[in-house]
Amino acid sequence: MSLVAGVELGPYEVLAPLGAGGMGEVYRARDTRLGREVAIKVLPAEVLADPPRRARFVQEARAASSLNHPNIVTIYGIESANGADFIVMEYVPGQTLDGLIPRHGMRVGEALRLAIPIADALAAAHAAGVVHRDVKPANVMVTRQGLVKVLDFGLAKLRQAEAAAGQEDTTVEAEAKLTRAGTVAGTPAYMSPEQASGGVVDARSDVFSFGVVLYEMVTGRRPFVGGSSAELLAALLKEEPKPPSGLVADLPKELERIILRCLRKDPERRFQHMKDVKVELEGSRRSPIPSPRPRRAWSPGDRDAGGSRGPQPARSFSPFWRPGFSDAGDSPRRHRRSSRSPRPARHTAARSRPTAPSSRSPRPAIEATTGTSG
């Protein structure tokens, strides 16, 4: 991170680095005029050097800043100072969703409690004509109170400027694009097939990416994986995802159906509107979660591509659980997993929950009633 505490960017005083991604570095800062904390995302100099690109970005950022929703991070403005361009936004103390997904996935109730507001945020953005284009766990913050805030609406357009709408790519071109996207934007594992191949991207692309996120939330694994960008592209374009119920025992059928419908390759065959996804998720929350069955015997035939685990026991919703934090809001995120499949072992079954829970700790086995709202 190139800015240190105390540096002033116009009226903003940098307090601490928060992290860095493909589109710049993020800092916690203080707006000295209003005396409030903000987050500033300093964009790489080359990103806005090209005037048409800058104009497109400003237009997109303007649309994103018009979004007013409790689950969308508020954009305060796009400013320039000391030769740097930066986005000033609401500071969200908390942790990104990718740091909160346990190795074997979340309990169904927990996943729904977080997924429904994400779906609501996306639905509201779509209604305002804004497509996110980069829905992934790293772009979802969860506050210490468990409130969800979706970040970076429309920012991906900057990175994907060259993936012009309507172009039909050959697989080789698409692969090259995916590789570039992977280099610049982190993992492309959440892209829709049409986005990864440079096709037309609309709200239904967000529906697909949301499906990838939800799949990962409940299973701890991504539906499409590959050792290389070519393999990932092939999986995205051709392979059907392994049904999540093959990874998690007693996953409600209804939830599986919703996830798989989000993940259909053909946008015409997916849910057409995020709002419908949200309504379906709310409905699934009310349907009973089956009581845990004894875990069936583990056999080598159960092994998935990662080969690391069999079906997991049912997870039920604990109304008492809230995401654990390690005060990550103040700590720079230095590491980024390139792939979640398989995840490295982070805990053993024998470990009990520590008094001050870390985000990756196993949850206490509280079997609670179903359908409770979080």
Ligand X SMILES: Nc1ncnc2c1ncn2[C@@H]1O[C@H](COP(=O)(O)OP(=O)(O)OP(=O)(O)O)[C@@H](O)[C@H]1O
Q: Which does 40 bind (CB under 5 to 8 A by kind): ligand X, Mg ion, none?
A: none
Select from 91-99, 246-254, 344-352, 361-369 the region that touches ligand X (CB under 6 A).
91-99
Q: Count Cβ neighbours within 10 Å for each residue of 67-104 and write b for 16 or more, e otherwise.
A: bebebbbbbbebeeeeebbbbbbbbbbbbbbbbbbbbb
Phi-psi region of 127 (alpha: psi -120 to 50; beta: other; left: phi over 0): alpha
Q: How far apart are the first and last CA of the chain?
A: 36
- How many chain residues touch Mg ion (CB under 5 A)? 3
Closest to ligand X by CB, 24 vs 154, is 24
Q: Which does 91 bind (CB under 5 to 8 A by kind): ligand X, Mg ion, none?
A: ligand X
Are the C-beta atoms of residues 126 and 203 closer than 8 Å to each other? yes
Q: Which does 97 bind (CB under 5 to 8 A by kind): ligand X, Mg ion, none?
A: none
Closest to Mg ion by CB, 21 vs 117, is 21
Among all residues, whose Cβ is closest to ligand X? 21
**Position among 92, 158, 203, 214 found at the interface with ligand X (CB under 6 A):** 92
Closest to ligand X by CB, 139 vs 219, is 139
Are the C-beta atoms of residues 109 and 318 closer than 8 Å to each other? yes
Are the C-beta atoms of residues 198 and 177 closer than 8 Å to each other? yes
Bridge-based pairing state of the strands 94-96 and 75-81:
unpaired
CB of 63 to ligand X, least distance (A): 17
CB of 190 to Mg ion, least distance (A): 12
Dihedrals phi, psi of 333, to nearest 5 degrees: -90, 110
The answer to whether 209 contacts Mg ion (rule: CB under 5 A) is no
Q: Provide the 8-state DSSP code for 72.
A: B
Select from 1-9, 23-31, 243-251, 261-269 the region that touches ligand X (CB under 6 A).
23-31
Both tokens assigned to 336: 């980024």
Residues of span 173-212 touching ligand X by CB under 6 A: 185-186
Helix, strand or coil, per DSSP, at residue 82: coil
Closest to Mg ion by CB, 150 vs 207, is 150
CB of 25 to Mg ion, least distance (A): 11
CB of 332 to Mg ion, least distance (A): 14
CB of 305 to ligand X, least distance (A): 25
Closest to ligand X by CB, 114 vs 258, is 114
The answer to whether 67 contacts ligand X (rule: CB under 6 A) is no
Query: Which residues are designated catalytic?
Result: 134
Q: Tell whether omega for the bond before 342 is within 30 degrees of 0, i.e. cis.
A: yes
Amino acid type, 194: E
Closest to Mg ion by CB, 140 vs 249, is 140
Cα separation of 351 and 149, whole Å?
Answer: 31
Burial of 55 (0-12, 13-18, 19+ CB in 10 A): exposed
The answer to whether 139 contacts Mg ion (rule: CB under 5 A) is yes
The answer to whether 21 contacts ligand X (rule: CB under 6 A) is yes
CB of 148 to Mg ion, least distance (A): 14
Q: How far is CA 319 from the centre of its chain?
A: 23
Q: How many CB atoms lie within 10 A of CB 288?
A: 10
Closest to ligand X by CB, 20 vs 100, is 20
Alpha helices by DSSP H, the chain: 51-65, 108-127, 156-159, 171-185, 193-196, 203-219, 229-238, 253-262, 274-286
The answer to whether 14 contacts ligand X (rule: CB under 6 A) is no
Residues of span 19-78 touching Mg ion by CB under 5 A: 21
What is the binding site for Mg ion (CB under 5 A)? 21, 139, 152
What is the binding site for ligand X (CB under 6 A)? 18-24, 26, 39, 73, 89-92, 96, 134, 138-139, 141, 151-152, 185-186, 329, 333
